[in-house]
Structure 1
Amino acid sequence: MKRIFLLALLMFGVFSVQTFAQEESEDEVTEEEMKKYAAMEVKVQNYIQEKQTTMETMIKENETLGGGARYNELKGAWGNEEKLAEIEATEEEKEAFAEIQEYIDSIGDEVKEYMTGLIMDAEVLGAATYNKVRRAMSADPSVKEQIDNLIAELKENGEEEDSSEGDETD
C-alpha cells in the first residue's frame, strides 16, 4: 500500500512538472505576437500625437485667446477668481479656455477607447495576446526591451500604412 501511494505521489510529481513545462512553453511570446503588440503601441502613440497636435492648434489659433501665452496665463490662474481678475480675464477668454480644457480632459477617455478597440480587435492584436505579452514584459525585462526596439523600429520606418488605417477609424 505504501509503495502504491509512493508511486502515485511520484507519478503525480512528474506529471505536474511536465504540465508546468508545457504551460510555460505555451506562455512564451512569439516574435509575431511582439510585432503585433509593438504595432498596436505605435498606433496608440500616433493617435495621442494627433490629439496633441489638435490641442496645440486649438490653442494657437484661438482668436479669443490670441495664442499660447494667454492660454498659459489663464491656466495658471484657473480656479482662482482673484488671479483671474488680476490678469483681467474676460468671460469670452474663460469660455474659450474652458472649451479647450474640455477637449484636453476628453483625450484620456478617447485614447483609452481607441486602445481598447485595438486590443479587442483580433486582427490587430486580441485581448489574449495583449495579456500574454504584458505578462511576459513584466516577467522578463528582455521581452520589454525587444518590444521597445520593435516600437522604435516601426516609428523609424514611418508606418504610413498603419497610421492611415487609424485615420479611417476616426
Structure 2
Amino acid sequence: MKKVLLFGTLFAFLGLAAYAQDEDKVTDEDLTKYANVEVMTSTYVENKTQELRDMILNNEVIDGGARYNEIKAAWGDEEKMAEAEVTEEEKAAFQAVKDFQDSLQDSVKEYKTELIMDEEVLGAGTYNKVLAATKEDPSVKEKLDSLIAEMKAKQDAEKGDTEDPTDGK
C-alpha cells in the first residue's frame, strides 16, 4: 500500500512540476505586452528630450543653444561665469533647464515602473518572467528585440502619416 501511495505522490508531484513549467513559459502575448512597455517608455523619453530641447532653444533669456552651451561650459566656475558675462536672469533660466534635465531620469523610472506595475498594461509578474526568459534564452531576447523594432517602425510610420503634408517634408 505504501508503494502505491508513494507512486501516486510521485505522479502528483511530476504533474505539478509540469504545470509550473507551463506557467513560467513566456507567451507571445507576454512578449507583446513587454515590448509595448519598452516602446511606450522610449516614446516618453523622446517626448521629454524634445521638451528639454525646446526649453533650451526657445528660451528668451538664454537666447538659444549657443549661449546655453557657453553657460554650461562656465557653470560652477565663478571666474568663467564672470568672463562669459552670465547674468542673474541667465543663471536662473539655466538652473531651471538643469533642474528639468536632472529630473528626467527619475521621471522616466517612475513612468516605466507605473506601466510595469499596472496589471492591465504588463504586470510585475509578467515583467519578471519575460526578463528572466531573455537572460536565459537568447532566442527569446532576439524575438523581443525584433518585436520592439517592429512596433517602433509601425509607430514611426503612423507619425509620418499624421504629419502636415504642407510642412515641406
Q: TM-score, normalised by structure 1?
A: 0.80
| Structure 1 Cα separation of the partners of residues 6 and 139 of structure 2 | 37
| Structure 2 Cα separation of the partners of residues 10 and 37 of structure 1 | 41
Task: Give the partner amino acid of 1:85.
Answer: A
Q: How many residues align?
A: 157
Paired position in structure 1 for 2:76:
79
> Any stretches of 5+ residues in structure 2 without a counterpart?
160-169
> Any stretches of 5+ residues in structure 1 without a counterpart?
1-7, 161-170
Identity %, equivalent residues: 51
2:140 aligns with one of 138, 143, 159: 143
The runs of 4+ residues in structure 1 deviating greater than 4 Å are 8-22
Paired position in structure 2 for 1:43:
40
Q: TM-score, normalised by structure 2?
A: 0.81
Superposition map of 1:91-130 within 5 A:
91-130=88-127
Q: How far does residue 20 in structure 1 lie from its aligned partner after superposition?
A: 4.8
1:131 aligns with one of 128, 131, 151: 128
| Structure 2 Cα separation of the partners of residues 79 and 17 of structure 1 | 65
Deviations 1:97-152 (A, max 9, x none): 00001111111121111111111111111111011111111111211111111111
| Structure 2 Cα separation of the partners of residues 76 and 24 of structure 1 | 56
Paired position in structure 2 for 1:57:
54
Q: How far does residue 24 in structure 1 lie from its aligned partner after superposition?
A: 3.2
| Structure 1 Cα separation of the partners of residues 13 and 66 of structure 2 | 66
Kindly tell me: are residues 23 and 90 of structure 1, through their superposed partners in 2, closer, same or farther at Cα, counting changes over 3 Å?
Answer: same
Paired position in structure 1 for 2:66:
69
